A = this chain, B = another copy of it.
Amino acid sequence: MNKSCIIAQSGGPTAVINCTLLGIVEEAKKMGFEHIYGALNGIEGVLNHRIVELTNQTHDQLQLLMSTPGAALGSGRHQLKNAEQDPETYQHIQKVFESLGIDCFFYIGGNDSMDTCNKVANYFAKTNFNCNVIGVPKTIDNDLQGTDHTPGFGSAAKFVSTTISEIYVDTNSYKKGRVTIVEVMGRNAGWLTAACKLADLSNTPVDLIYLPERPFDLNSFLQDVQAIYNKKQKVLVAVSEGIRDANGQYILKTVAQNKNDSFGHTQLGGVAQTLCDIISEQLSLPVRHIELNLLQRCSAHISSAADAQEAYNCGVFALQMATQGHTCKMVSMFRDSQYHISLQLKDIDNIANAVQIVPDKYINEQGNGITDDFVTYALPLVQGEVPQHYKNGMPQYYQLDLPLVEIKL
């Protein structure tokens, strides 16, 4: 097949963003693509002519992508202006693609990346440039519309639930413990924080779980904490970094302002730390705050096999659909009642810039816990473990070490 494609990655990496890259590359190789290119650091790589050729990478080299975190092609956060405002950029992209004979362009990313796909595909349509553009989603936040879930979420959920489960077992070692507050990523949607509910399946239930979807009431929170502590002499809490008060203001900021009023300085640190300070001050209970931080998106050593396989399959499907002539679409996942996942294409313009929040049925009435319905939803996403590549006890990763392709415009 006398075809060529180019792939780029963008936005915050996930533990399985490289599985999608591998799926596209392997399917393109299988179909006999002449050239398989990778643009470095997202769309910027196209604009700066930082492009490599992956066509001759061996199976053994590429296999490491299945357990390599980060974005193997490098990531970026460059956002394109509208083509009307900045036609030169779009002309430039098209010229680079023409010079390389690109037939299809794959962008693996989140909301912003789907926006880029949309703009580029629309420009190509307008200029009748025959290059199919397909977006493949990734985000640990699981907050993309038009898909049952996003590749990357399952692995982050497996890390978060396993880790909070281990924290439970550890902190449970003491008769008289602390209030331990674990802060989970998710500014606008609480999917990943909700995953802490999966710890029930390890017999290590988290006492209180708070998502941004419900207003956070500090007094109820303090009452709940005190009541549980009285009973068990320890409390395990999971909070989303994005929890807000009834006025929609981040708890972190609210408290900061109050502190400013009374103490004349700004509170530092995350929401877990802030809540610990309040508990320490108002309830005089021993506290500990834990921010899971970057580990949530990069702990590839405990990726979900189901997630990694789905991420890979999305890449394969993207390549197949582009080859069949589809463009300006995003790959999405649809589930039937038995958790059979089928892949579909969705119009990108309906998806970009819309946030999918956790529905009411997954949050308990008091707003301090997660329902079993959520477990039914999330459990298939964390199944299985990905074989790791260890050498001397240390993980081995895919190393991109390829010369830049010469671009002649």
Contacts and interface: CB of A to CB of B under 8 A. Distances in A.
Given A265-B265, A269-B273, A294-B288, A299 B163 contact: yes
B394 A382 contact: yes
Interface string A191-222: 00000001101111000000000000000000
Contact of A162 (B162, B290, B383, B394): B394
A304 interface: yes
A298 B166 contact: yes
Contacts of A162: 301, 394-395
Nearest to A306: B393
Contact of A399 (B203, B277, B302, B391): B203
Interface in A165-182: 165-167, 169-175, 180
Contacts of A175: 41, 44, 74, 76
Contacts of A163: 295, 299
A198 B301 contact: no
A300 interface: yes
Nearest to A385: B390
Contacts of A329: none
Interface in A52-101: 68-71, 74-77
A382 B301 CA distance: 15
A44 B173 CA distance: 13
A19 B384 CA distance: 24
Given A175-B76, A264-B264, A394 B202 contact: yes
Interface residues of A, number: 70
Interface in A126-175: 158, 161-163, 165-167, 169-175
**Chain copies in the assembly?**
2
A295 B69 contact: no
A268 interface: yes
A379 interface: yes
Contact of A393 (B41, B158, B392, B396): B158
A394 B168 CA distance: 14
A340 to B, nearest CB: 17
A194 to B, nearest CB: 15
Interface in A1-28: 9, 13
A202 B268 contact: no
Nearest to A198: B394
Given A167-B294, A173-B74, A304 B393 contact: yes
6 contacts: A70-B171, A162-B395, A167-B295, A265-B265, A291-B291, A291-B293
Leading 10 A-B pairs by shortest Cβ distance:
A170-B298, A70-B169, A382-B393, A265-B265, A71-B173, A201-B394, A75-B173, A383-B393, A166-B298, A70-B170
Given A165-B397, A203-B399, A290-B294, 13 more contacts: A44-B175, A68-B169, A167-B295, A167-B298, A170-B294, A201-B391, A202-B396, A203-B396, A268-B269, A269-B269, A288-B293, A288-B294, A295-B295
